[in-house]
Amino acid sequence: MSGQQLSMRDSLYLSDDNNETTFKYDNQLPSLPVPSVRQSVFKLLDTIRPITEGDEHAYKVVEQKALALLNDPDVNEVQELLKKRAAERKNWLEEWWLEFAYLRSRKPLIPYSNMAAPLPIMQYWPIISPGQPGFDNVRVQRSALSTYFQLCFWKMLRHERMRPMIHKGVPWSMNQFRYLFNTVRRPGEPMDELQSWFRTAKEGPPESVEIIVLYRGYIHSIKPVTILDNNTSETCILSAPQIERQLRRIESWCREQATSGPGIGSLTTNERSVWKEARDELMGISEHNKRLLDRIERALSVLVLDDHTPAGTQEIFELSMAGDANDRWADKSITSIAFKNGTFGANADHTPYDGFCTGIMTHYLMTSVEECAGQWNEQLAAASNSSLAVYCEPELLEFQLSPSISVSLNESLEHFKTTTKTIHVLHSTFGHYGKAILKEHRMHPEAFVQCAIHATYFRRHGRMAPAYVTASTRRFHNGRTETCRSCYTEMRDFAKFINDNRPPNDDGRRAQTYALLRRSVTRFQELMNEASNGHGCDRHLMGLYLTAILEGKKVPELFDDELVQRTNNYILSTSCSGYWNVCGGVPPLVEDGYGCFYGIEDNAITFGLTAYKTSKETNLELFHRNLFDVLLEMQQVLLNSKL
């Protein structure tokens, strides 16, 4: 790249050192530590106290069990066994987290587990309404270009050109990016299986260069990538106009059919054990079906063409979270959804990676679209080697069905409708301020938003709620996340005071509100740093529990305590998607909970909020209004303070 000026996108993402490859540091990262039992137990107690306000007896019972655990020689033995496991593996948690947090769950992936998000790309690609010029062509044109850029991202990963992430001088694991493409969660019993066929160029040619396209219940395959040389693993990507030609063929063919297709993908949206049985039956019908399933599961990714015309991010979020089961393959690691009016959403299996992976790829796509003004142009054509690519016509993947599979398809479709209609989602941007003013006041942006979320819950329900916020442990080998428990004494003090003093109408109260806010923000940063350094309590306590069970040891009473279990069922499920407007979410962990996901920009905060319509406790519309009211009140707290 010497002598050539990099685009903004490439300057952000491409490594400027050929020796600093994407996965360079992964095997050099330190092992995930095992905290001390004392540290984890007292951290747990600190987050239980705000929940038990007004019931000192309940807290004392838990405290006694905690102290008993600390003096239990059996617990010390279990801790030593866990340390032994940690000495034998670079990440003692990795396999357990995958198995017990994801693969053993029997619930449908959609809507309960998969991540969903709108792509906030309308500033570059405005919505084209029916009747406007270009409406009939906008979906395939934009899908082709976004697919091209997605494949550029894939190729950047394959050739390890993506700059490894380094946070404050510390390299972070890039391992999760290996599971963005060519990855599937296969249904199994008693647990599913995660399989990935992604290879870097050094590891060999791609296992599959197909993209699966779902439209009107039919399944097609396109091959937008050509393998030029199996020895060098060199590939080239079709141009966006060539991909558009493939997609247009699929769109036209499906529209010409008298009826919709069978919607085989709806089977993947059922409970995992039910889908396992149906999958086994499908494979038992013919070798042809086996080959089709294998091709879909190995494929790079999935693209859905959807005939809905969502009016904005709210409707896109709804349709991406649920939508049409006939055009879903829930097991695949990434599904892009292209709506008829040129808008986009995504649905992704959470099992192999966390939301930052899709967030980063989305930002890459958005930056790419911005730079080319949303159009394929001569500069893109010149920079690509698309002229070497071999064009292939789309291929219809048609399964051979049995009467019982047809029954299973109908049952899966009805089950999907029943489960997805219980989910309530809201996607909204608070546009009054963002991290710019927070930085002026030396307030950590995420900590500030957490304070707003807790104050909102307190306003709505009159009490504090068990809450988790995602902390990254990617500084460790194959690290993913730790729970940062954001309900603590300082948070309770702030949430209670700002709600008891509305508005703070004298200087003394305003000063006290600010002081409590500052104290809560500071404590959040401490807890987040501890969790990111592998010293949270949740994963460690999970490790102790599993070690005791698997080694046949006695499980301490503390783990079975009703209050402890209640605080582990987080009412507030929260996470920061990044410092941008890319923001989606998942449903809450519990029926009476809220999902609060947020992206923080300089002058705005975007929220993806979720709840269950079946809950008699929650009201997502009111929670949303209260949240924005609290944020406005907190702005006044800042403005009335002295910097």
Instruction: Give 597's strand partners.
Output: 575, 608
Integer Cα distance of 477 and 288 in angstroms: 40
Tokens of 36: 């001390």
Q: Which secondary-structure segment (H or E) carries 437?
A: helix 435-440
DSSP helix/strand/coil, 336: strand
Q: Return left, alpha or beta for 377; rule: phi > 0 is left, psi -120 to 50 is alpha, else beta.
A: beta
Of the CA atoms within 13 Å of residue 134, those in its CB half-sphere come to 11
- Tell me the catalytic residues: 350
Phi/psi for 608 (5° steps) reads -110, 110
- Burial-class residue 112 by CB neighbours within 10 Å (0-12, 13-18, 19+): middle
Q: Which tokens hold the place of 35?
A: 């905290």
d(CA 142, CA 148): 10
Measured distance CA(593)–CA(571) in Å, rounded: 4
Contacts of 273 (CB under 8 A, 6+ apart): 106, 187, 189
Residue 193 pairs in a beta bridge with 186
Counting every residue written for the chain, the total comes to 643
Run of H or E residues at 429: strand 423-430
Element (H, E) at 412: helix 403-420
Radius of gyration of the chain, Cα coordinates, nearest whole angstrom:
25
438, 450 in Cβ contact below 8 A?
Answer: no
* Residue 20 CB burial class (10 angstroms; 0-12, 13-18, ≥19): middle
Residue 98 DSSP class = I
| Residue 169 buriedness (CB in 10 A; 0-12 / 13-18 / 19+) | exposed
Q: Residue 609: which H helix or E strand, with range?
A: strand 605-612
Q: Which amino acid is at 161?
A: R
* DSSP letter (8 states) at residue 163: P
β 335-339/344-348 pair status: antiparallel
With a CB cutoff of 8 Å and minimum separation 6, the contacts of 22 are 15, 156, 157, 160, 161, 162, 163, 164, 174, 177
Helix (H), strand (E), coil (C) string for 470-516: EEECCCCCCCCEEEEECCCHHHHHHHHHHHHCCCCCCHHHHHHHHHH
CA 453 to the chain's CA centroid? 20
